[in-house]
Chains A and B, each alone.
Chain A
Amino acid sequence: MQHRILRKARVLFEVYLAQMVEYRAEIYLWAAAGVLPLILLGVWAKAAESGSFPLSRVEFIRYFIVAFLVRQFTFIWVIWEFEELVSSGRLSQQLLQPLHPIWRIIASHLTERVVRLPLVFGIVCLCFLAYPEALWVPRLVDVGLATLLLTFAFWARFMIQYMMSMLAFWSERATAIEELWFVVHLFLSGLMAPLDVMPDGVRAAAELTPFPYLVYYPTSLLLGHGAPLAKAAVVLGIWSLASWGLQRVLWRKGLRSYTAMGA
């Protein structure tokens, strides 16, 4: 049994990696399209020179370079993929196989990361060449903790978006909800500004959502500023479990109303 599961996982990983290598040009464009933190880097660095902020100019630069890197690990597109599967009818082919369709989507997410990261590290190196004063060496323990938090954050974000993607059974534009979600994500995750510059009330409320654990706190950990790991585990755990439970209900209801159109 265990051998069969491992074989499925290995074959899916190998084949989807081969597919992602075929799509490397598109993946590099998507990775490069995530440069919002690098744009904001310039804005905040300039602002820090003249205003009074909790972070110095160099700290802002370092924060946004690391935020750019961290964000690449929690980039999820399950809702777009699932919506396409349902609207094109391709879901039917996958439903006819004794493997839940989600495993193929997970394989594509994990293998895409492998192809994406070399370019991302290249961009980060260029950033530190442009701002050598921001270069620093993170502690190994912080890298380990940030990796752990990012792994949790990835799965939480994946489960939340996967749950939302179930709307594709009833709506042709399930992705609209993700676009709304992304607006909130922009402000509360730390992509637009570190949570340090936000009012205490907003920050406290944000910490009950998964957003700050996707970008701000992993960045903060890498920078050596620490993070409320226990709280992160509880919040991400609750959001993941609730999303998983709701997803199961919506999946069962969705399949009953699935018309397999286009297939």
Chain B
Amino acid sequence: MARALCKSYRVAAKEPGVAGALRHFFRREYKDVEAVKGVSFEIERGEFVGFLGANGAGKTTTLKMLTGLLLPSSGELRVSGHFPFDRRSDFLKRITLVMGQKQQLMWDLPALDSLRVNAAVYDLPKLQAERRIAELAEMLEIESKLTLPVRKLSLGERMKCELLAALLHEPEVLMLDEPTLGLDVNAQDSIRRFLKDYNQTRRATVLLTSHYMADIVALCPRVLLIHEGRLVYDGSLEALTERVAPYRQLRLELPELVSRERLATYAEVELLEGRKVVLSVDRAQVTNVVARVLAELKPLDLGVTDPPIEQVIGRVFAGQKEALA
């Protein structure tokens, strides 16, 4: 639970060049940067929540406050019944934070060695640790990789080992910051399936940030949208799409070339590439427009879809917050 959560940093304000450096040396000036401005939300046990925002929006800062790495400047914060910054052992045993491209595994040793350390650190009995390692390794399909030095693993294999290390103590709260960053499509898909399974079988609460919308669409029934440090949306992806982008896309493949002007008489032309067309159609008008298009343009192929989630989010970041009001 976060209520009116704020975080501001004091940063040195320095002009460029030698003159700026000298001036700064004799007279230091600072400015306060507000990274998170009064964010409030509650997440129930077992929820899978997507945390969306552009770079610098305040997602990672919020995650760091939720895990206790950063002390909030103001506001209330409870995670699993604890104030995270106290970093009590009982709290740390209930949470985990996985950061894509950041590693906790020892680089020159097999992942199994790091897992042994984690098992001891989290006070897991040896047999229980071995059982969990075997179980998670099977779910992640990396049984044969655990005895290889971490530096010899591919990025995808390494990320899976990182996940295994982060989940060995069976945390009830998972915070995942770009866990699929830089991975190929297969590895991304495999990690998504694993996270979904983990969330369902353990009733774990998961908060996920990702720039890959496919992650969010596949995993998160609920999203939190943060923009310039403020929470601008909290709800389902479908509702977000309906509120921000109240239109659907009509994708057509026409038998012949048709002018943009003529297509515009049906709906807004979003794309025109030869005989391939995408129209943006008001949700209330979809049936009428489809009927007209079928009758008059005789398309070879026709499909009706929601706009891509990237486009929806892009609209919010482009300043259409009023659409959320």
B113 touches A22 (CB 8 A): no
A263 touches B99 (CB 8 A): yes
Stretch at the interface among B22-30, B47-55, B62-70: B62-70
Residue numbers in B under 8 Å from A14 (CB-CB): 116
A99 within 8 A of B: yes
**Bitwise interface map of A from 1 to 18 toward B, beta carbon under 8 Å scored 1, else 0:** 000100110111011001
Residue numbers in B under 8 Å from A18 (CB-CB): 109, 113
Stretch at the interface among A39-47, A87-95, A127-135, A224-232: A87-95
Question: Interface residues of A, CB < 8 Å — how many?
Answer: 28
B96 within 8 A of A: yes
A96 touches B69 (CB 8 A): yes
**Bitwise interface map of B from 90 to 107 toward A, beta carbon under 8 Å scored 1, else 0:** 001101110100111010
A6 — nearest CB in chain B belongs to which residue? B120
CB distance from A97 to the nearest CB of B (A): 5
B217 within 8 A of A: no
A22 touches B69 (CB 8 A): no
Cα separation A258 to B99 with both chains bound (whole Å): 18
Please tell me which one of the listed residues A8, A94, A96, A258 contacts residue B67 in the complex, with CB atoms under 8 A apart. A96
Given contacts A256-B71, A260-B69, A260-B70, contact A12 B117 (CB under 8 A): yes
B123 within 8 A of A: yes
B120 touches A93 (CB 8 A): no
Please tell me which one of the listed residues B70, B89, B109 contacts residue A15 in the complex, with CB atoms under 8 A apart. B109
Please tell me which one of the listed residues B70, B89, B113, B116 contacts residue A98 in the complex, with CB atoms under 8 A apart. B89
A15 touches B108 (CB 8 A): no
Question: Number of contacts between A and B (CB, 8 Å)?
Answer: 71
Interface range, B side: 20 to 34
A15 touches B113 (CB 8 A): yes
A258 touches B70 (CB 8 A): yes
Please tell me which one of the listed residues A92, A93, A98 contacts residue B93 in the complex, with CB atoms under 8 A apart. A98
Given contacts A11-B116, A12-B117, contact A19 B69 (CB under 8 A): no
**Bitwise interface map of B from 64 to 82 toward A, beta carbon under 8 Å scored 1, else 0:** 1001111100000000000
B87 within 8 A of A: yes
Cα separation A18 to B117 with both chains bound (whole Å): 12
A151 within 8 A of B: no
A181 within 8 A of B: no
B106 touches A92 (CB 8 A): no
Interface residues of A in 207-263 (CB under 8 A from B): 255-256, 258-260, 263
Please tell me which one of the listed residues B69, B104, B123 contacts residue A258 in the complex, with CB atoms under 8 A apart. B69
Cα separation A260 to B97 with both chains bound (whole Å): 13
B212 within 8 A of A: no
B109 touches A19 (CB 8 A): yes
Given contacts A258-B69, A260-B69, A260-B70, contact A89 B120 (CB under 8 A): no
Cα separation A18 to B99 with both chains bound (whole Å): 26
Cα separation A131 to B109 with both chains bound (whole Å): 41
B121 touches A8 (CB 8 A): yes
Residue numbers in A under 8 Å from B121 (CB-CB): 8, 97-99
Please list 27 pairs of residues, one from A and one from B, whose beta carbons are closer than 8 Å in the complex, sorted by A's number. Answer: A10-B120, A11-B116, A11-B117, A11-B119, A11-B120, A15-B109, A18-B109, A19-B106, A22-B109, A90-B102, A92-B64, A92-B99, A93-B102, A93-B103, A95-B69, A95-B87, A96-B67, A96-B96, A96-B97, A97-B118, A97-B122, A98-B92, A99-B121, A258-B70, A263-B69, A263-B99, A263-B102
A→B interface (CB under 8 Å): 4, 7-8, 10-12, 14-15, 18-19, 22-23, 89-90, 92-99, 255-256, 258-260, 263
Query: Which 5 residue pairs across A and B have the least CB separation, nearest first?
Result: A11-B120, A98-B89, A93-B104, A98-B92, A22-B108
B→A interface (CB under 8 Å): 9, 64, 67-71, 87, 89, 92-93, 95-97, 99, 102-104, 106, 108-109, 113-114, 116-123
Known contacts A93-B99, A97-B92; 17 further A-B pairs (Cβ under 8 A) = A7-B120, A8-B121, A11-B117, A19-B109, A19-B113, A90-B102, A92-B64, A92-B69, A92-B97, A96-B68, A96-B97, A97-B118, A97-B121, A98-B121, A256-B71, A260-B64, A263-B102
